[in-house]
Structure 1
Amino acid sequence: MKKLVYYVSDDFLDEFKTNFNSNYLPLYLDGDKEKIKEIFSNPENVIESSIEFDYADLFLESEDPDANKKNMKIIWESLKHLSISEASNEKLWIALENTFYLDYHLDQLKLISGKTREASVISRTIFNRGNKRSLMINNIASLWWIAYYTINPEAEDPFYLTNRFMEGTYRGNAIAYFSSNLVSNKNIVLGTLEAIYELIDEGKMIENRYSYSSANKLLNLTGGVVILDLLSKDEIKKIVKDNLLKMENVETVSEKTI
């Protein structure tokens, strides 16, 4: 179904973020879909762009444990023509998650529990953690960006690394890994992920957020000696695979079994 991508207006975005805790947060905590729809149907708040996309409903994680893998493919296939500038724009993602994908957004918020629920609802609905980190926290933007970084069109299965990354606690791993300024070159990402998953599959490392954040630290150190952007995917992979187990906080299998 062909639709036009929405943006929120500059004036509304400023008001929405400034007054979010007092005026809007209760609506998201309570899942007040109709009130949110009313706010985001106001043409002064939401503007149609000239960008077309093929809209499809997203699956709800509360009903389908594989929803996020499926949704990542839906979001990517429908919006992969976005430019990097467009896909980095908070006005687009705030509009999309509160219009076309509101059911999914509210379902994701409903699944959050514990003492940090309020803070998590805020950070998933407005950008309040810096742009790059917020893109990896936002319920819709994170799906697009994970796909962008991890799909390898040259692989036999282009979505292998993507699906592998989406297993388990992918949200925490995405924030730990993709929020780094180092992560901008696809050769770096693909080489790093291939190394991480080979170490896991060879029974040498336990996967957790330190698998990813420590790989970033390792490459940052390496970047002081060589220009990482000039290295191939396989060269990045070798550096990570040969050295990651030596990094602090990386949990090896031998450590886990002692």
Structure 2
Amino acid sequence: MTKLRAKVCTPQFLQTFKEKFDSEYYQLYKDRDRQAIEKLFASPAVYESNRVFFDFTPLIVKGNENFGIRNAKNIYSAFKDLTLTQASTEEFWFTMLNTYYLDYIFESMKANDKPEILKNMMFMGTTRAFFIQHLARAWWIGYRTYDESHQLNPWWLLDFMGTSDIHGKAYSLFASTFTNNKKIGLGIIEGVMLSQDHFKNIQYTYAYVDKYFNALGGVKILDVLTREQVRDMTVKLLEDVWTGEYPINAKDRKHIFLEQ
């Protein structure tokens, strides 16, 4: 196995990069100027950390079959020993993407090379940050869906949730504060899976359930719930929606119900 050292930059380097991106650096990426970008990241402000990973795993670009699922499995597995604090560090993911994963950036830009698209790919920003930056997004989806209690296939919930638009679903579900508690997210996914006879496995369904738990969090401490309770509450909610016992507007009904 090939041993590689993870790279990270200083906060000052990242801040300066953001400030100069539009005026100086964007053109380097648009021109696919690998040499100039590599020189930029050869700065003393970019350094190797003590963190070691093995067997470089590439990110797969959009358009390849099940690319979101494969990226989540691969990146989380490659960096599984990261602490949550380390996995929350923008400097780490930004530097790794611009060094080891530079080919991914170039390949992705073939579909769209607008500055804002590239910024979303590289930077975390402030809103739902973990599920915007592409490398961090893969890791966090992997982390939030990995089910250690399911020994036969710890990825069984990701395999279900990720059958289409995994990033949209993750954006809707995992960006809520209450799903920082991993068991809540796992419980919701399993609840949706158990309700798939009547409900679509789409972003809108997860957003609808997310809205319910957000409202519930105003009157109940969600962290005290077990994963099984969250699963059963999700099933009960969707069952009541289906039978008409829980109110739902026509727009939501059209989006989340399977055709009858």
For the aligned pair, the TM-score class normalised by the smaller chain equals 0.7 to 0.9
TM value normalised by structure 2: 0.86
> What does the per-residue CA deviation read over 1:113-153, in whole Å, with 9 as the maximum and x for residues that have no partner?
7xxx43222111123234xx122111111111001110101
2:178 counterpart SS class:
coil
Q: 2:99 aligns to what?
A: 99
Matched, 1:198 2:194: yes
Q: CA deviation at 1:76?
A: 1.4
CA–CA separation in structure 2 for the residues paired with 1:127 and 1:229: 26
Q: Which amino acid aligns with 2:108?
A: Q
Q: Is the 8 A contact 2:10 2:91 kept in 1?
A: yes
Q: 1:127 aligns to what?
A: 124
Q: Which amino acid aligns with 1:206?
A: K
Q: 1:207 aligns to what?
A: 201
Greater shift, 173-182 or 64-73, is seen at: 64-73
Task: Summarize the alignment of residues 74-223 of structure 1 with structure 2, pairs less than 5 Å apart.
Answer: 74-112=74-112, 117-130=114-127, 133-155=128-150, 156-200=152-196, 202=197, 204-223=198-217
Q: CA deviation at 1:57?
A: 3.3
Greater shift, 150-159 or 60-69, is seen at: 60-69
Q: Which amino acid aligns with 1:238?
A: D
Greater shift, 94-103 or 177-186, is seen at: 177-186
CA–CA separation in structure 2 for the residues paired with 1:255 and 1:143: 29
CA–CA separation in structure 2 for the residues paired with 1:228 and 1:179: 15
Q: Which amino acid aligns with 2:229?
A: E
Greater shift, 134-143 or 22-31, is seen at: 22-31
Q: Is the 8 A contact 1:62 1:107 kept in 2?
A: no
2:134 counterpart SS class:
coil
Q: Which amino acid aligns with 2:199?
A: M
CA–CA separation in structure 2 for the residues paired with 1:255 and 1:79: 37
Matched, 1:225 2:219: yes
Q: Which amino acid aligns with 1:86?
A: Q
Q: CA deviation at 1:108?
A: 2.7
Q: 1:2 aligns to what?
A: 3
Greater shift, 117-126 or 86-95, is seen at: 117-126
Unaligned stretches of 5+ in structure 2?
Answer: none
Identity %: 26
> Cα distance 1:162–1:254, how it changes in 2: closer, same or farther (>3 A)?
closer
| C-alpha RMSD of the superposition | 2.4
Q: 1:18 aligns to what?
A: 19
Q: CA deviation at 1:50?
A: 1.0
1:128 counterpart SS class:
coil
Q: 1:50 aligns to what?
A: 50
Q: Is the 8 A contact 1:59 1:71 kept in 2?
A: yes
CA–CA separation in structure 2 for the residues paired with 1:59 and 1:215: 30
> What does the per-residue CA deviation read over 1:159-179, in whole Å, with 9 as the maximum and x for residues that have no partner?
011222333212222222222
The counterpart of 1:236, out of the listed 218, 227, 230, is 230
> Cα distance 1:237–1:128, how it changes in 2: closer, same or farther (>3 A)?
same
Q: Which amino acid aligns with 1:124?
A: M
Q: CA deviation at 1:64?
A: 3.8
Q: CA deviation at 1:193?
A: 0.4
2:180 counterpart SS class:
coil
2:100 counterpart SS class:
coil
> What does the per-residue CA deviation read over 1:32-54, in whole Å, with 9 as the maximum and x for residues that have no partner?
33322221222x23111111111
Greater shift, 167-176 or 57-66, is seen at: 57-66
CA–CA separation in structure 2 for the residues paired with 1:140 and 1:128: 14
> Cα distance 1:62–1:123, how it changes in 2: closer, same or farther (>3 A)?
closer
Q: Is the 8 A contact 1:151 1:161 kept in 2?
A: yes
1:19 counterpart SS class:
helix
Q: CA deviation at 1:62?
A: 6.1
